[in-house]
Structure 1
Amino acid sequence: MIKKYLVLIVLAFAIIAWRQQDSENVDWAEYLGGPDRNHYSALSQINPSNVQDLKIAWTYSLPDSGQMQANPIIINGILYSVSASVQAFALDAATGKEIWRFGDPLKNWASTSRGLAYAKDRILYTAGPNLWALDAKTGKPIESFGDHGKVDLHTGLPKIAQNKFIISNTPGTIVGDLIVMPLRLSEGADAAPGDIRAFNIYTGKIAWTFHTIPYPGEKGYETFPKDAYQNTYTGAANNWAGMSVDKKRGIIYVPTGSAGYDFWGGNRKGQNLYANCLLALHAKTGKLLWHFQMTHHDIWDRDLPAAPNLITVTRKGKRIDAVAQITKQGFVFVFDRVSGKPLFDIIENLVGKSSLPGEHPWPTQPYPVLPKPYARQSNELSPSDISPYAKNKDELASILSKLKRGWYDAPSEQGTLILPGFDGGGEWGGAGADPEKGILYINSNEMGWIQKMAKNKDVKSITGESLYQSYCANCHGADRKGNPASGYPSLVGIDQKRSKAYISQIIKQGKGMMPGFGQIESESQAAIAAYIQCLPPKEISNSSSPQVLPYQMTGYNKFLDEDGLPALSTPWGTLNAIDLNTGKYLWKIPFGQEPLLVKQGITNTGGENYGGPIITKSGLLIIAATKDATLRIYQASTGKLLASYALPFASFATPSTYMVNGKQYIVVTCGGTKLGTAKGNQVIAFGL
């Protein structure tokens, strides 16, 4: 009898475990598929033999439109995601019927959103500076969390950060009863410090903090000038791209970005830990276990752009749990997940000095021996590497010959070619992976950008113009003409297109990828608004403008031909499969098309892309990401294109896949607006 009961108990536990495993297999329960951020699904109903038979199963049109970067999560038959104006919503995952929607598009709209997190029957997501906890069934705020359902993300940061721009457009990472939050901050000298903080998912209270700009007595303090942590002109070193977590070991892996100001670091001399690092932290306490810095003293905006992949590889006959980090500069760094020991040799290569007085680049930068870069490097180019499709080849070759283009050449007044560009290489879409086979799949950009520095004028008085130059000129240009080809609109004539109230609102709280400037006084905000509307200038008597730096970058300028196409030779985008057991490439193909050239019968050029792939156990690689508004499905083992489907709008988001009632779906959000594409508002699900 006892044996019988024991058998029944064992069977019961087995059924529970099977159901839990089955739920994990059919759901897409976390951002990018799971805590390992591998974009991987064990589903196999959709496979290479039937992928050409996919049909649209349902569509959902949102009441707003614009850029949508969200990777939806699907749990127990319900899809949760975020709209272009940062409204959270829930849909029936089998029909697309709306269950609830939360948020006011006219309030706290300060960014795009890449999704949300789910834990303990609650949704955790951000709008503006606030982290919200919503009831997953109703979408209503949970009153017991923070202040009636929300926590201001300024909470727990030092006094110097209290009025500075802070949002989060990547979902937090759930570890037990904690959510560890990424932050998006200003990229200038006015950036808040990028402390990593864990909040309790029930109360909203802070559980721990890790200082990315170290305090006195903390390791790394000596890599910044004295007391940099409390200076108003040195900040950031933040995680904005999201994190991965090894739940079995209780380790969270946190990639960080550059310290502010991004492009001139004369006021932050030193190596600048823990900017541009992969951090391994104890998930319950925030204690540092190990770190590796991938760009020392960053003056090129080489933020780590995506959460790392947690995979298992075989090295010298031994299975090793590893963590792989992609980068904007086209490198993959691979480490033992526990010890932090590199699995492939990393060389510190010498780099040049700066021609700008006061700037002291770090003398070396790390270069992994394997894998080889998945994007071309600037030092590999010559004037012959101009696009064969450009009409002004001679002019472009002359420009290229005059630019500095050595590996990690320091910013200069002469101008430097940044390749891979400021948007990579790899970007926030991240890499897909087969976690057991140890294969990494990366979509990459091949766009060159021109980084040029200019000496700032000595400012004797603060005016709307000087404030504009400090806060706005990097993107919109010193002449307010912007750079539409690079994605930065002109502000000339904006007073004829937008109301004064709208302009003031955008300056204060931001919109899309533009940060708000709520940290400066209302008088200063009004002065900027007056300047861009060509109203009479007014001197500001007491402004919270940041320290005026000696040098500033003249703008985010892509290297383009006269038709607005990439000036460098093709491919302009690639898709790569790398075997991290060996560090060797399995395949590499051009990815995407340029619509302007397709009309001329020119294909296979590759193109700029944003958003990542997903990988299935059935051997598929599924990706949108390109401006030609197409969902493509490849054979993961070979890179062969199996099927493609036209989308109503470009999709710059990573898809998801899930199963409901025995049917597998692929879902993608179509939002457009990047790369000159039309704005959209649809969520589309495909099925057999």
Structure 2
Amino acid sequence: MSNVLAPIPAPVPWLARVLGVVLVILGFVMLAAGGLLASLGGSWFYALSGLAWAVIGALMWGRLREAVLGYALYFLATLAWSLWEAGLDWWPLGARLGVPFLLGGVLLALVPTMRRHLPVDDPRRVAWRSPQALALAAALGAFVVVAVVSWTRDRHALEGTMPANGAARPPGAAASGAAAVPDGEWHAYGRTGFGQRWSPLAQITPANVGDLKLAWEFRTGDVRGRPGDPKETTFEVTPLKVGERLFLCTPHQTVLALDATTGRELWRFDPQVRGELALQHLTCRGLSYQPPPDPMAAAGAQPPACAAKLFMPTADARLIALDPASGKPCPAFGRQGAVDLWAGMPNAKPGAYYSTSPVVVTRRLVIVGGTVLDNASTKEQSGVIRAYDIETGALVWNWDSANPDATAPLAAGQTYTANSPNSWSVASVDEDLGLVYLPMGNQPPDQWGGKRSAAVERHSSSVVALDLATGRLRWVFQTVHHDLWDYDVPAQPVLVDLTVRGARVPALVQPTKQGELFVLDRRDGRPVFPVTETPAPQGAAAGDFTAPTQPVSAISFNPPVLRERDLWGVTMFDQLWCRIAFHRLRYEGRFTPPSTQGSLINPGNFGVFNWGSIAVDPVRGIAFTTPAVLAFTSQLVPRHDDTSQLVQDEGKPSGSLPALNENFGAPFASRMKPFTSPLGVPCQAPPWGTVAGVDLNEGRIVWRHRNGTVRDLSPLPLPLRLGVPSLGGPLMTAGGLAFLSGSMDDYVRAYDVNDGRVVWESRLPAGGQATPMTYLGADGRQYLLVVAGGHGSTGTKPGDHVRAYALEKR
């Protein structure tokens, strides 16, 4: 080595010396960090790369021919290693080889300089046609060929085509649960109480969707950023369409009525939410509609005031009934048009409890769940479910998951069970069966369950079916046993009649955060497709335990177990950081329990599915889904008192906003965050978001494709199609299309549901984290309605836009 590095009198070209210095510095950094990775049981490649770079950098000062040849050999070895780890998968290959390719290109570009500045017989001289330069050019060219080949395929895609017409359907099956909703209207959050997010309209098709144009836009004037707003101030509403009117609510709780054809504002109601509120979320996902009791009233003479009603839950825990005609409160409901949801509630703290999701409306009842602060303390409010008389607002029954047998209305002066599991998402209802279906959350704290009662254990992270008349539990199906991961059931259950093995089954399809699609018989909760109890990792924190098994559905988007080779980064440097972090975390696959060491949770509590749920075509028995995969880290921080703030990394919350994840009263606080590199990109390789089609009659995933670009997530607005998560549900229509606006790149897209192909897209002025809907206007056109207002916790662009798209008038 000393002979190789011996100084030679003639000066080395200064560009070569600069590159040599860079390689030596990077080499020693890589050698140190790579050595740390190897000591943790990881790959030796980075340490060897660092050594190679240091040697090649030193050669740049003395023997340029050997440096060029050495880099060619190093690059070929790196290419071979990358193919062994990642195969022909472009984004992982690019992360591994991007920096080495760039440095090799610079080195090759320096060859003319080396030739001009050195004598012909100088041992450091390299010419374009020298064996060393040709070897480096060939090595770099080999990567270009590999890259081009990898661009022609997507190893993560599943190609397939949906059955043409689905299974044979009994007459009228498609209208089940939707008979009272005219084809051109949208009366509930999921269009009907079945939550299908499907419309029988078929005017817009894959053949003409490319002609969709913006018909009108309305600005609500309500944008996040006011004093007292929590980070998660979000515009998530899916409007209703009744008659010729649209009804919607804004994040700050204003209710609006618009003309459905022109977008003109008809009335506006401000519920006057005031005061300091301990809010974790500030949103309104939607309103609920009660049609007039006489079906002729809607089509005939002007109905009396409040013959129909709109129900709006407010951030200060009121349930307000409004007259759809005027926007004025209905005085006969509750006290001057409102029911106080704090009645009977323990641990009163304004803003800590309210309904972020629309309530369930039946012929006789309005049924209300609510959200409580997540992981703030062990002294939160109750997760009680309450049913009120739809005309008077009188309490009819209450179901408390921690005291499930006491459903008679709570007596004056009594309170519900504090800190019991709640139902914060959207519920579904089948009035023919007399059942309401509730997706249940967990008891705070989510990451430690050492003191949960038997009743809490039974109902947490479950789907429960309650009797409409009495509130009594009819059945329960648990999606996670002893949940320690915040895998509460986030999505509205979808009710649909399927044809499975030749028999018609009234089914319930439940998407979960952990990626399962549980298909249950909605009469008794029994699985329609197999559910397997799979062994789970053990070893919970002190005072706690883990369930020995966890349920896995036959239809599952459960991400595969992460390996070191699955980690990612924009460059090989942040990928190295992710590999080191990976080995420092506890990880034994899905359901690795939280730990004081820090555990890797994959998928994280963002969920494979979240409150947007899925869309189901009841005629064909197919589903359009939006699976996301993002790993999180979860670290338990021991508490020594019930007051110290241990995990407020961004500083003490301002005003009345709560200190989340402190878990006051529990033995541990929780520090949870996405598993990302120092550059803020996920440590796992893309895609992070996909769209997928499922044949529910056969119980199989038919196709799956990466979805969306990083245009609005990266410093440079590059429309690279890596596949990004979405938040906000999809819509399907009888025209053979699905629409999705919730992807994190500010687009609304249309997909052919047969194969998942994108057939139209339009740029949005803000994040579209809401579920779109569709309806028929007075002009006979089918409209697509999209709300674009952004989402606080995902960081998408804020706005106040309501947009309607339609085909040109004929």
Band of TM-score, shorter chain = 0.7 to 0.9
How big is the shift at 1:306?
0.9
Preserved CA contact (<8 Å) 1:374 1:576: no
Q: Could you say what secondary structure the match of 1:395 adopts?
A: helix
1:653 aligns with 2:760: no
In structure 2, the residue matched to 1:589 is 705
User: Matches of 1:186 and 1:426 in 2, distance apart?
Assistant: 21
Shift in Å at residue 599 of structure 1? Answer: 4.5
Instruction: Indicate conservation of the 8 Å contact 2:347/2:380, yes or no.
Output: no
**Structure 1 residue 21, shift from structure 2 partner:** 5.6
In the alignment, structure 1 residue 50 sits paired with structure 2 residue 168: no
Determine the C-alpha separation between the residues in 2 that align with 1:152 and 1:21: 33
Q: Is 1:679 the equivalent of 2:795?
A: no
**Secondary structure of 2:551 counterpart:** strand
Letter in 1 for 2:240: I
**Unaligned ranges ≥5, structure 1:** 1-16, 219-228, 482-490, 495-502, 518-544
8 A Cα contact 2:344 2:416, kept in partner:
no
State the match for 1:258 in structure 2: 442
Q: Secondary structure at 1:239's aligned position in 2?
A: coil
Which aligned pairs between 1:411-450 and structure 2 lie closer than 5 A? 411-450=594-633
Residues 277-305 of structure 1, C-alpha deviations (whole Å, 9 max, x = no match):
11111122212211111112211111101
2:318 and 2:701 mapped to 1: Cα distance? 42
State whether residues 731 and 773 of structure 2, in contact with CA within 8 Å, keep that contact through their aligned partners in structure 1. Answer: yes
How many pairs does the alignment contain? 586
- Tell me the TM-score normalised to structure 1 length: 0.81
Quick one: structure 1 residues 127 and 591, their matched pair in 2 at CA, closer, same or farther if it must change by over 3 Å? same
What's the CA shift string for 1:421-479, capped at 9, x where partnerless? Answer: 111000001110112322122112211110111111245xx5xxx2x44xxx3xx43xx
Pairs within 5 Å for 1:159-308: 159=346, 165-188=352-375, 189-214=378-403, 232=418, 235-268=419-452, 272-308=457-493
State how far apart, in whole Å, the 1-side matches of 2:803 and 2:494 are.
27
Runs of at least 4 residues off by over 4 Å: 20-23, 159-164, 215-218, 229-232, 596-602
One-letter amino acid of the counterpart of residue 654, structure 1:
T
Paired residue secondary structure (2:582): helix
Structure 2 residue 214 is matched with structure 1 residue 33: no
Superposition TM-score, scaled by structure 2 size = 0.69
Between the aligned partners of 2:250 and 2:416, the Cα distance in structure 1 is: 36
Listed one character per residue, the Cα deviations across residues 540-570 of structure 1 (whole Å, up to 9, x for unaligned) are xxxxx9862211212x311112221111101
Amino acid at match of 2:253: V
SS in 2 for 1:392: helix
In structure 2, do the counterparts of structure 1 residues 75 and 230 end up closer, same or farther at CA, with 3 Å as the change threshold?
closer
Q: Deviations over 1:101-160 (max 9, x none)?
A: 111576277521101001132110111211101111111111121121111112244x55
Q: Which residue of 2 aligns with 1:101?
A: 268
Q: What is the aligned partner in structure 1 of residue 411 from structure 2?
A: none
More strand by share: 1
- The answer to whether 1:322 aligns with 2:507 is yes
What does residue 409 of structure 1 align with?
Answer: 592
Q: Quick one: distance in 1 between partners of 2:639 and 2:466? A: 40
Residue 663 of structure 1: aligned partner: 781
The answer to whether the aligner puts 1:133 opposite 2:321 as a matched pair is yes
Structure 1 position 627, deviation (Å): 2.1
User: Residues 30 and 73 of structure 1 are in contact (CA less than 8 Å); yes or no, is this contact kept in structure 2?
Assistant: yes
Q: Is the contact between residue 572 and residue 605 of structure 1 (CA under 8 Å) also seen in structure 2?
A: yes
1:576 to 692, 713, 722: 692
CA contact (8 A) 1:236 1:257 kept: no
CA contact (8 A) 1:311 1:436 kept: no
Matches of 1:604 and 1:553 in 2, distance apart?
Answer: 34
> CA separation of 1:113/1:303 partners in 2, compared to 1, >3 Å: closer, same or farther?
same
Shift of 1:96: 0.6
Match of 2:156 in 1: none
Contact in 1 for aligned 2:439/2:491 (Cα 8 Å): yes
Q: Percent identity?
A: 30
State the secondary structure of the residue aligned to 1:291: strand
Residue 624 of structure 1 is matched in structure 2 by 741
1:640 aligns with 2:807: no
Aligned to 1:116: 287
In 2: Cα distance, 1:74 partner to 1:64 partner: 21
Q: CA deviation at 1:419?
A: 1.3
SS in structure 1 opposite 2:429? strand
More deviation, 341-350/34-43: 341-350
Residue deviations 1:632-658 (CA, integer Å, cap 9, x gap): 000011101100001111110000100
Q: Do 2:630 and 2:682's aligned partners in 1 also have CA atoms closer than 8 Å?
A: yes
> Does the Cα contact within 8 Å between 1:405 and 1:416 map onto a contact in 2?
yes
Distance 1:102 1:413, change over 3 A: same
Residue 561 (1) aligns with residue 561 (2) = no
- Given the superposition, is the C-alpha separation of residues 57 and 274 from structure 1 closer, same or farther in structure 2, using an over 3 Å criterion? same
Of 101-110 and 63-72, more deviation after overlay is shown by 101-110
Q: Which of 532, 550, 567 is 1:386 aligned to?
A: 567
Task: Give the Cα–Cα distance (whole angstroms) in 1 for the partners of residues 498 and 263 of structure 2.
Answer: 39
RMSD across aligned positions (CA): 2.5
Partner of 2:221: 63
Closer/same/farther in 2, CA of residues 231 and 549 from structure 1, 3 Å limit: farther
Looking at structure 2, the residues matched to 230 and 285 of structure 1 have their Cα atoms a distance apart, in angstroms, of: 17
* 1:603-652 deviation digits (Å, cap 9, x = unpaired): 22111211011000010000100221100000011101100001111110
2:783 maps to amino acid: Y
Task: Give the match's secondary structure for 2:339.
Answer: strand
* Greater RCO, 1 or 2 (C-alpha within 8 Å, sep 6+): 1
Q: Quick one: structure 1 residues 293 and 23, their matched pair in 2 at CA, closer, same or farther if it must change by over 3 Å?
A: closer
Name the stretch that deviates more: 116-125 or 183-192: 183-192
Q: Which runs of 5+ in 2 are unaligned?
A: 1-174, 225-233, 293-307, 408-414
Note if contact 2:202-2:735 (Cα within 8 Å) is conserved in structure 1. Answer: yes
For 1:401 and 1:546, the matched residues in 2 are separated by: 27
Whether contact under 8 Å (2:402, 2:417) holds in the other structure is: no
| Change beyond 3 A, Cα 1:135–1:215 | closer
Whole-angstrom CA distance in 2 between matches of 1:21 and 1:677: 38
The one of 718, 721, 737 equivalent to 1:604 is: 721
Alpha-carbon distance in 2 for matches of 1:331, 1:568: 20
User: C-alpha displacement at 1:353, in angstroms?
Assistant: 2.9
Shift of 1:68: 0.5
Find the residue that maps to 1:320 and give its secondary structure: strand
Mapped partners of 2:466, 2:404: distance in 1? 17
Check conservation: 1:622, 1:634, Cα contact below 8 A.
yes
Give SS of 2:223's match: strand
CA distance in 2, matches of 1:250, 1:642: 41
Which stretch shifts more, 52-61 or 382-391?
A: 382-391
- The higher radius of gyration belongs to 2
The aligned amino acid for 2:700 is: K
1:321 deviation in Å? 1.3
Check the 8 A contact 1:375/1:445 in 2, yes or no: no
Partner of 1:73: 240
Corresponding residue for residue 120 of structure 2: none
CA deviation after TM superposition for structure 1 residue 22, in Å: 9.0
1:149-192 deviation per Cα after TM superposition (whole angstroms, max 9, x unaligned) = 111112244x5568782100100011112111120112231222
2:638 pairs, out of 455, 460, 468, with 455
Per the TM alignment, residue 216 of structure 1 is displaced from its structure 2 partner at its CA by 7.5
Contact 2:505-2:521 at 8 Å conserved across structures = yes
Q: How many Å separate the matches in 2 of 1:289 and 1:279?
A: 8
**Residues 496-511 of structure 1 aligned to structure 2 (within 5 Å):** 503-504=654-655, 506-507=656-657
Q: What is the Cα deviation at residue 307 of structure 1?
A: 0.9
